Chain A
Amino acid sequence: MAKARVLIRPKEGILDPQGKAVERALPALGFEGVEHVRVGRMVELEAEDPERLGELCEKLLANPLIEDYEIQTL
Protein backbone atom coordinates (compact mmCIF):
# COMPACT_ATOMS: atom_id res chain seq x y z
CA MET A 1 0.00 0.00 0.00
CA ALA A 2 1.28 3.44 -0.87
CA LYS A 3 0.68 6.24 1.57
CA ALA A 4 -0.51 9.50 0.09
CA ARG A 5 -1.74 12.87 1.18
CA VAL A 6 -4.21 14.93 -0.81
CA LEU A 7 -4.37 18.68 -0.28
CA ILE A 8 -7.58 20.35 -1.39
CA ARG A 9 -7.94 24.11 -1.50
CA PRO A 10 -10.48 26.63 -2.78
CA LYS A 11 -9.62 27.73 -6.30
CA GLU A 12 -7.86 31.03 -6.75
CA GLY A 13 -10.39 33.85 -7.02
CA ILE A 14 -13.16 32.07 -5.13
CA LEU A 15 -14.18 33.88 -1.97
CA ASP A 16 -13.13 31.79 1.04
CA PRO A 17 -15.11 33.10 4.04
CA GLN A 18 -13.42 30.65 6.43
CA GLY A 19 -10.00 31.99 5.49
CA LYS A 20 -11.29 35.57 5.87
CA ALA A 21 -12.71 34.81 9.32
CA VAL A 22 -9.40 33.32 10.47
CA GLU A 23 -7.51 36.28 9.02
CA ARG A 24 -9.75 38.77 10.81
CA ALA A 25 -9.34 36.96 14.14
CA LEU A 26 -5.53 37.02 14.09
CA PRO A 27 -4.82 40.69 15.00
CA ALA A 28 -6.97 40.36 18.14
CA LEU A 29 -4.62 37.57 19.26
CA GLY A 30 -1.55 39.67 18.60
CA PHE A 31 -0.64 38.14 15.23
CA GLU A 32 -0.12 41.12 12.95
CA GLY A 33 1.02 40.95 9.35
CA VAL A 34 -0.70 37.73 8.28
CA GLU A 35 -2.73 37.89 5.11
CA HIS A 36 -4.24 35.86 2.26
CA VAL A 37 -5.35 33.07 4.61
CA ARG A 38 -7.07 30.23 2.74
CA VAL A 39 -8.64 27.24 4.47
CA GLY A 40 -8.79 23.88 2.70
CA ARG A 41 -8.65 20.25 3.76
CA MET A 42 -6.19 17.42 3.82
CA VAL A 43 -7.01 13.77 3.25
CA GLU A 44 -4.53 11.06 4.22
CA LEU A 45 -4.96 7.63 2.69
CA GLU A 46 -3.28 4.40 1.70
CA ALA A 47 -3.88 3.12 -1.82
CA GLU A 48 -3.03 -0.10 -3.62
CA ASP A 49 -2.87 1.73 -6.93
CA PRO A 50 -1.64 5.31 -6.51
CA GLU A 51 -2.04 5.79 -10.27
CA ARG A 52 -5.78 6.06 -9.73
CA LEU A 53 -5.63 8.81 -7.12
CA GLY A 54 -6.13 11.56 -9.72
CA GLU A 55 -9.39 10.00 -10.84
CA LEU A 56 -10.44 9.53 -7.23
CA CYS A 57 -9.79 13.22 -6.56
CA GLU A 58 -11.71 14.34 -9.64
CA LYS A 59 -14.71 12.18 -8.78
CA LEU A 60 -14.98 12.51 -5.04
CA LEU A 61 -12.30 14.17 -2.92
CA ALA A 62 -12.41 17.50 -4.76
CA ASN A 63 -15.00 19.34 -6.80
CA PRO A 64 -12.88 20.56 -9.74
CA LEU A 65 -15.27 23.45 -10.37
CA ILE A 66 -14.41 25.09 -7.06
CA GLU A 67 -11.33 23.33 -5.71
CA ASP A 68 -7.74 22.54 -6.71
CA TYR A 69 -6.05 19.45 -5.39
CA GLU A 70 -2.50 18.27 -5.03
CA ILE A 71 -1.48 14.65 -4.49
CA GLN A 72 1.64 13.99 -2.44
CA THR A 73 2.82 10.38 -2.36
CA LEU A 74 4.78 9.71 0.80
Chain B
Amino acid sequence: MIWGVLQFPGSCDERDALHACSLAGEARLIWHEERDLGGVDGVVVPGGFSYGDYLRAGAIARFSPAMEAVAEFAAAGGPVLGICNGFQVLCEAGLLPGALLLNEELRFVCRQVELIAGDGERLSIPVKHGEGRFYAPDDILDEIEENGQVAFRYAPGQNPNGSARDIAGVTNEAGNVLGLMPHPEHAVDPLTGSTDGLKIFRSIAGLAA
Protein backbone atom coordinates (compact mmCIF):
# COMPACT_ATOMS: atom_id res chain seq x y z
CA MET B 1 0.00 0.00 0.00
CA ILE B 2 1.24 3.49 -0.86
CA TRP B 3 0.33 6.19 1.64
CA GLY B 4 0.25 9.90 0.95
CA VAL B 5 0.77 12.20 3.94
CA LEU B 6 -0.46 15.75 3.42
CA GLN B 7 1.74 18.64 4.46
CA PHE B 8 0.32 22.11 5.06
CA PRO B 9 2.22 25.19 6.19
CA GLY B 10 2.10 24.63 9.96
CA SER B 11 1.85 20.83 9.91
CA CYS B 12 4.20 19.35 12.48
CA ASP B 13 3.48 15.63 12.71
CA GLU B 14 3.96 14.70 9.07
CA ARG B 15 7.40 13.16 9.70
CA ASP B 16 6.13 10.78 12.37
CA ALA B 17 3.12 10.00 10.17
CA LEU B 18 5.44 9.18 7.25
CA HIS B 19 7.46 6.93 9.52
CA ALA B 20 4.36 5.15 10.83
CA CYS B 21 3.00 4.70 7.29
CA SER B 22 6.35 3.32 6.12
CA LEU B 23 5.92 0.55 8.71
CA ALA B 24 2.63 -0.36 7.04
CA GLY B 25 3.59 0.15 3.39
CA GLU B 26 5.33 2.88 1.44
CA ALA B 27 4.85 6.55 2.18
CA ARG B 28 5.35 9.91 0.53
CA LEU B 29 4.57 13.53 1.33
CA ILE B 30 1.95 15.50 -0.58
CA TRP B 31 2.35 19.29 -0.48
CA HIS B 32 -0.90 21.16 0.15
CA GLU B 33 -0.77 22.89 -3.25
CA GLU B 34 -0.83 19.57 -5.12
CA ARG B 35 -4.16 18.93 -6.81
CA ASP B 36 -3.11 15.40 -7.76
CA LEU B 37 -2.58 12.76 -5.06
CA GLY B 38 -0.32 10.78 -7.40
CA GLY B 39 -2.18 7.48 -7.26
CA VAL B 40 -1.74 6.76 -3.55
CA ASP B 41 -3.88 4.06 -1.94
CA GLY B 42 -4.49 5.88 1.33
CA VAL B 43 -4.17 9.41 2.72
CA VAL B 44 -3.14 10.73 6.13
CA VAL B 45 -4.07 14.27 7.12
CA PRO B 46 -1.53 14.81 9.93
CA GLY B 47 -1.47 16.87 13.09
CA GLY B 48 -0.10 20.34 13.64
CA PHE B 49 -1.44 23.84 13.13
CA SER B 50 -2.33 24.04 9.45
CA TYR B 51 -2.29 27.66 8.21
CA GLY B 52 -1.66 28.70 11.80
CA ASP B 53 -5.12 27.42 12.79
CA TYR B 54 -6.32 30.96 12.03
CA LEU B 55 -10.06 31.54 12.36
CA ARG B 56 -10.77 27.98 13.59
CA ALA B 57 -8.56 24.90 13.62
CA GLY B 58 -8.75 23.31 10.17
CA ALA B 59 -11.03 26.00 8.70
CA ILE B 60 -8.60 27.26 6.08
CA ALA B 61 -6.80 23.99 5.28
CA ARG B 62 -10.04 22.50 3.99
CA PHE B 63 -9.92 24.88 1.00
CA SER B 64 -6.44 23.76 -0.12
CA PRO B 65 -6.06 22.06 -3.53
CA ALA B 66 -4.84 18.86 -1.83
CA MET B 67 -7.96 18.73 0.34
CA GLU B 68 -10.18 19.09 -2.74
CA ALA B 69 -8.41 16.03 -4.11
CA VAL B 70 -8.82 14.23 -0.77
CA ALA B 71 -12.58 14.93 -0.79
CA GLU B 72 -12.84 13.29 -4.22
CA PHE B 73 -10.61 10.41 -3.11
CA ALA B 74 -12.81 9.87 -0.03
CA ALA B 75 -16.01 10.05 -2.09
CA ALA B 76 -14.60 7.28 -4.29
CA GLY B 77 -14.11 5.10 -1.20
CA GLY B 78 -10.38 5.68 -0.62
CA PRO B 79 -9.18 5.33 2.98
CA VAL B 80 -8.44 8.63 4.74
CA LEU B 81 -7.03 9.00 8.25
CA GLY B 82 -7.12 12.38 9.98
CA ILE B 83 -5.08 12.76 13.16
CA CYS B 84 -5.59 15.64 15.59
CA ASN B 85 -5.44 18.77 13.38
CA GLY B 86 -6.17 16.40 10.48
CA PHE B 87 -9.36 15.32 12.29
CA GLN B 88 -10.30 18.99 12.68
CA VAL B 89 -9.67 19.56 8.96
CA LEU B 90 -11.87 16.60 7.99
CA CYS B 91 -14.70 17.84 10.24
CA GLU B 92 -14.44 21.35 8.80
CA ALA B 93 -14.49 19.84 5.30
CA GLY B 94 -17.71 18.00 6.13
CA LEU B 95 -16.06 14.62 5.53
CA LEU B 96 -16.68 13.68 9.17
CA PRO B 97 -19.52 14.60 11.53
CA GLY B 98 -19.09 16.99 14.45
CA ALA B 99 -16.56 19.63 15.43
CA LEU B 100 -13.62 19.97 17.82
CA LEU B 101 -13.81 22.72 20.43
CA LEU B 102 -11.42 24.17 23.00
CA ASN B 103 -10.67 21.69 25.77
CA GLU B 104 -13.13 21.99 28.64
CA GLU B 105 -10.37 22.96 31.09
CA LEU B 106 -8.70 25.32 28.59
CA ARG B 107 -5.37 23.57 29.11
CA PHE B 108 -3.27 21.96 26.42
CA VAL B 109 -3.15 18.26 27.31
CA CYS B 110 -0.19 16.04 26.50
CA ARG B 111 -0.31 12.54 27.95
CA GLN B 112 -0.78 8.87 27.27
CA VAL B 113 -4.45 7.77 27.28
CA GLU B 114 -6.27 4.47 27.03
CA LEU B 115 -8.65 4.17 24.12
CA ILE B 116 -11.36 1.62 23.55
CA ALA B 117 -11.84 0.72 19.91
CA GLY B 118 -15.22 -0.13 18.42
CA ASP B 119 -14.46 -3.85 18.78
CA GLY B 120 -13.55 -3.46 22.48
CA GLU B 121 -9.77 -3.63 22.07
CA ARG B 122 -7.86 -1.27 24.38
CA LEU B 123 -5.05 0.85 22.95
CA SER B 124 -2.52 3.05 24.71
CA ILE B 125 -1.89 6.15 22.59
CA PRO B 126 -0.82 9.73 23.44
CA VAL B 127 -2.94 12.85 23.07
CA LYS B 128 -1.53 16.37 22.65
CA HIS B 129 -3.98 19.12 21.84
CA GLY B 130 -5.70 22.26 23.07
CA GLU B 131 -8.82 21.95 20.92
CA GLY B 132 -9.93 18.35 21.10
CA ARG B 133 -13.37 18.43 22.70
CA PHE B 134 -15.54 16.47 20.28
CA TYR B 135 -18.96 18.05 19.93
CA ALA B 136 -22.07 17.30 17.93
CA PRO B 137 -25.73 17.94 18.73
CA ASP B 138 -27.46 15.06 20.53
CA ASP B 139 -29.39 13.91 17.47
CA ILE B 140 -26.17 13.58 15.48
CA LEU B 141 -24.45 11.79 18.39
CA ASP B 142 -27.36 9.32 18.54
CA GLU B 143 -27.13 8.81 14.81
CA ILE B 144 -23.37 8.15 14.69
CA GLU B 145 -23.66 5.76 17.64
CA GLU B 146 -26.48 3.85 15.94
CA ASN B 147 -24.52 3.68 12.68
CA GLY B 148 -21.44 2.33 14.45
CA GLN B 149 -19.41 5.41 13.49
CA VAL B 150 -17.76 5.83 16.91
CA ALA B 151 -14.35 4.29 16.21
CA PHE B 152 -12.66 5.13 19.53
CA ARG B 153 -13.70 6.29 22.98
CA TYR B 154 -11.50 7.39 25.85
CA ALA B 155 -11.51 4.70 28.55
CA PRO B 156 -13.75 5.56 31.54
CA GLY B 157 -12.22 8.39 33.58
CA GLN B 158 -9.63 9.27 30.93
CA ASN B 159 -11.52 11.77 28.80
CA PRO B 160 -8.86 14.53 28.62
CA ASN B 161 -10.90 17.32 27.07
CA GLY B 162 -14.62 17.01 27.83
CA SER B 163 -15.51 15.25 24.57
CA ALA B 164 -19.18 14.34 24.21
CA ARG B 165 -19.84 10.72 25.24
CA ASP B 166 -16.06 10.17 25.64
CA ILE B 167 -15.69 10.10 21.85
CA ALA B 168 -12.05 10.17 20.70
CA GLY B 169 -12.51 9.21 17.05
CA VAL B 170 -15.28 8.80 14.47
CA THR B 171 -15.71 7.54 10.93
CA ASN B 172 -17.94 8.72 8.12
CA GLU B 173 -21.05 6.70 7.34
CA ALA B 174 -19.28 4.62 4.69
CA GLY B 175 -16.46 3.85 7.13
CA ASN B 176 -13.55 4.81 4.85
CA VAL B 177 -12.78 8.16 6.52
CA LEU B 178 -11.51 8.04 10.10
CA GLY B 179 -10.54 10.92 12.34
CA LEU B 180 -9.20 10.83 15.89
CA MET B 181 -7.60 13.27 18.31
CA PRO B 182 -5.00 10.86 19.81
CA HIS B 183 -1.78 10.32 17.85
CA PRO B 184 -1.26 6.72 16.68
CA GLU B 185 1.80 7.86 14.68
CA HIS B 186 3.56 8.64 17.98
CA ALA B 187 2.93 5.10 19.25
CA VAL B 188 4.74 2.88 16.75
CA ASP B 189 8.06 2.24 18.50
CA PRO B 190 8.74 0.53 21.85
CA LEU B 191 11.16 3.41 22.58
CA THR B 192 8.19 5.70 23.19
CA GLY B 193 6.29 3.22 25.34
CA SER B 194 3.59 1.76 23.13
CA THR B 195 3.27 0.32 19.64
CA ASP B 196 -0.52 0.25 19.69
CA GLY B 197 -0.74 3.06 17.14
CA LEU B 198 0.79 0.82 14.50
CA LYS B 199 -2.27 -1.43 14.74
CA ILE B 200 -4.37 1.37 13.31
CA PHE B 201 -2.05 1.91 10.32
CA ARG B 202 -1.81 -1.84 9.69
CA SER B 203 -5.56 -2.23 9.96
CA ILE B 204 -6.13 0.52 7.35
CA ALA B 205 -3.45 -1.01 5.09
CA GLY B 206 -5.33 -4.30 5.32
CA LEU B 207 -8.52 -2.47 4.40
CA ALA B 208 -6.97 -0.95 1.29
CA ALA B 209 -5.22 -4.12 0.14
Contacts and interface: CB of A to CB of B under 8 A. Distances in A.
B55 A60 contact: yes
A15 B103 CA distance: 10
Contact of B98 (A17, A21, A60, A65): A65
Nearest to B136: A65
A18 B99 contact: no
Nearest to A66: B99
Contact-size category for A? 10 to 19
Contact-size category for B? 10 to 19
A14 interface: yes
B106 interface: yes
22 contacts: A14-B101, A15-B104, A15-B133, A15-B162, A17-B102, A17-B103, A17-B105, A17-B106, A18-B102, A18-B106, A21-B106, A60-B55, A60-B59, A60-B60, A60-B63, A63-B56, A63-B59, A63-B99, A65-B98, A65-B99, A65-B135, A65-B136
